[in-house]
Amino acid sequence: MNLKFGTDGIRGPVETVITPEACLKMGYATGTIAKELGWSTVMIGKDTRVSGYMLESALQAGFISAGIDVKLLGPIPTPGVAYLTRSLRDAFGLVISASHNNFLDNGIKIFMPNGEKLSKDIEKRIEKILSKDMNMVETSAIGKAARFDESGARYIEFCKSTVPSNISFSSLRVVLDCAHGACYKVSPSVFSELGAEVIPIGVEPNGFNINEGCGSTHPELLQEQVIKHRADYGIALDGDGDRVILVDNEGSILDGDDLLYIMAFANPNRSGPWSGVVGTKMSNFGLEDGLNKLGYKFIRADVGDKYVSQKLSEKGWLLGGETSGHIISKDLVSTGDGTVAALKVISSLLMLEKSPKEVLSNYNKRPQANIAVQVNNKDIVNDPEIQSAVSQAQSDITVDRVLVRPSGTENKIRVMVEAPDEKTATKYATDISKLIKSKT
């Protein structure tokens, strides 16, 4: 069984990688290691993909065969599973989701009882078991399974609790795009119960339309709806709800860098756990410069909210995130949470009595060109000619940063070039991307 953990769990096509057989083995292997770690119960959530119920059954069988009890949560955002694992103490969590990918893919994300994603060490131990035959426990020791119907209600109440009691959303009209994904029920309830007028879109999942032309990876629909409805804010979540993009009342997109800056700007306490912010190699240099001017330290982690979380723990800091919209405020959550991040940003702006444009005028983002190239083999990134092109771009004094890396979740090479002017960034990103395409 050639399953390997990537940047964010295991992900791939259902027909060839995340198959029922693979999930059966994954449940057994993870359950075997969980027992060694003293974890007795797994909470399994999923998004709205058509393959979710099939894979849930296979994983359930695998865990039970290893002697692990199973609680089935049904469709719930990834951060909701992370929250419940922390809440129930002795349980660990698993999410069946391929996040922002389309319905043809699915994946597995696993959380430890503290709500953090698995360490590399535990991932390797699970991979080692995957290579062996299954050897189920005695029948008297097999696990039991039950539905846990409170998951959505508990997560809604948790999200609402992150908003200060003196902040009211009653004056706001919000367009909320749930990407036909895991947030389609819970997130509209969160905002409406906080008093906002909610215009929901992307809330009619059919198993096949997750992330299709909507959500955080396709914010154009949200921009249109914000202008059409004269909304104060637009919020776009992805398929499993762990990342978010906002749109202001003029239809301008606020990415993860913008959201981090707003949260940092609004925080009056810039010492101790709040003295630094963690971004990634993709974070705009303008964010780093802007945060430094506010008095924060700034460091970069590898791409992936898991690595941002690890850096925050190492430094003892509380705020970090990715340009893509994974935002972690560790005083509240243990992983990227799109709904909580949106609540935090909007609450911050209400507290400041400022618009996003007013706050963001205090920092200048550098032009950044990002291109994703579909490839058959991600190892092509190590091709000498491609490496030479990257080195040539990096040596140009008119270029700030160049990052060419294999995607951790898709068969793509991601090209990012940052420069003082958009023309230079676009030229180098396009040239490198064309070279990669010529070799696929």
- Residue finishing a domain among 338, 356, 378: 338
**Residue 4 belongs to some domain of the structure:** no
- Cα first-last separation, the chain: 26
Same domain, 28 and 105: yes
Cβ proximity of 223 and 235 under 8 Å: no
**Residue 361 belongs to some domain of the structure:** no
Same domain, 105 and 120: yes
Q: Which of 51, 65, 99, 347 is catalytic?
A: 99
- What integer pLDDT is reported at residue 3 of this predicted model? 84
- Tell me: pLDDT of 371 over 70: yes
> Across-strand partners of 412?
374
* pLDDT tens string 18-31: 999 999 999 999 99
Sign of the C-alpha dihedral computed for residues 231, 332, 274 and 289 taken in this order: negative
Distance between CA atoms of 344 and 234, rounded to whole angstroms?
A: 14
Query: What DSSP state is assigned to residue 14?
Result: T
Query: Which helix (H) or strand (E) covers residue 288, if one does?
Result: helix 285-293
Instruction: Give start and end residues of each alpha helix (H) in 230-275.
Output: 256-266
Which residues lie closer than 8 Å to 239 by C-beta, 6 or more apart?
47, 48, 49, 97, 98, 99, 100, 101, 179, 180, 181, 182, 210, 211, 215
Average of per-residue pLDDT across 398-416: 88
Sign of the C-alpha dihedral computed for residues 372, 281, 96 and 328 taken in this order: negative
**Residue 3 belongs to some domain of the structure:** no
Same domain, 28 and 102: yes
- CATH number for the domain including 433? 3.30.310.50
Same domain, 332 and 401: no
- Give the pLDDT band (50/70/90) at residue 277: very high
Average of per-residue pLDDT across 284-292: 96
- Give the pLDDT band (50/70/90) at residue 57: very high
B/e letters for 61-72, b = 16+ CB within 10 Å, e = fewer, are: bbbbbbbbbbbb
Cβ proximity of 257 and 265 under 8 Å: no
- Give the pLDDT band (50/70/90) at residue 387: very high
**Residue 357 belongs to some domain of the structure:** no
Q: Which two tokens stand for residue 187?
A: 């997130």
Q: Which two tokens stand for residue 217?
A: 């990876």
Average of per-residue pLDDT across 67-93: 95
Is there a catalytic annotation at residue 361? no
Average of per-residue pLDDT across 285-298: 96
Average of per-residue pLDDT across 254-281: 96
- What integer pLDDT is reported at residue 1 of this predicted model? 61
Distance between CA atoms of 415 and 407, rounded to whole angstroms?
A: 10
- Tell me: pLDDT of 160 over 70: yes
Q: Which two tokens stand for residue 415?
A: 């090209």
- What integer pLDDT is reported at residue 246 of this predicted model? 98
Same domain, 125 and 78: yes
**Nearest CA-CA partner of 407 in 46, 109, 117, 12:** 12
Query: Highest mean pLDDT range out of 340-344, 372-376, 384-388?
Result: 340-344
> Across-strand partners of 42?
70, 92
Distance between CA atoms of 77 and 155, rounded to whole angstroms?
A: 9
Measured in degrees and rounded to the nearest 5, phi and psi for residue 15 equal -75, -25
- What integer pLDDT is reported at residue 89 of this predicted model? 77
Same domain, 68 and 96: yes
- What integer pLDDT is reported at residue 184 of this predicted model? 98
Same domain, 143 and 165: no
Q: In this structure, which amino acid lies at residue 145?
A: A
**Residue 174 belongs to some domain of the structure:** yes
**Residue 346 belongs to some domain of the structure:** no
Around Cβ 350, how many Cβ atoms within 10 Å? 19
- Give the pLDDT band (50/70/90) at residue 66: very high
Average of per-residue pLDDT across 310-314: 95
Same domain, 46 and 84: yes
- Residue finishing a domain among 99, 118, 149: 149
Same domain, 145 and 15: yes
- Residue finishing a domain among 217, 251, 285: 251
- Give the pLDDT band (50/70/90) at residue 131: confident
Same domain, 172 and 109: no
**Residue 348 belongs to some domain of the structure:** no
* pLDDT tens string 166-221: 999 999 999 999 999 999 999 999 999 999 999 999 999 999 999 999 999 999 99
Counting residues of the chain whose pLDDT is more than 90, the rounded percentage is: 91
Question: Average pLDDT, whole number, for the chain?
Answer: 95
Q: In this structure, which amino acid lies at residue 170?
A: S
Same domain, 169 and 136: no
Which residues lie closer than 8 Å to 112 by C-beta, 6 or more apart?
39, 85, 92, 118, 119, 122
**Residue 382 belongs to some domain of the structure:** yes
Counting residues of the chain whose pLDDT is more than 70, the rounded percentage is: 100
Q: Which domain holds residue 372?
A: 368-438
- Tell me: pLDDT of 409 over 80: no
Widest CA span in the chain: 69
Cβ proximity of 255 and 238 under 8 Å: no
Q: Supply the pTM of this predicted model.
A: 0.92
| Overall domain count for the chain | 4
- What integer pLDDT is reported at residue 398 of this predicted model? 87
Query: Which helix (H) or strand (E) covers residue 145, if one does?
Result: strand 145-147
Strands (E), 231-386: 233-237, 244-247, 253-254, 276-280, 297-301, 319-321, 327-329, 368-374
Same domain, 25 and 110: yes
Q: Which residue has the higher pLDDT, 249 or 7?
A: 249
- CATH number for the domain including 64? 3.40.120.10
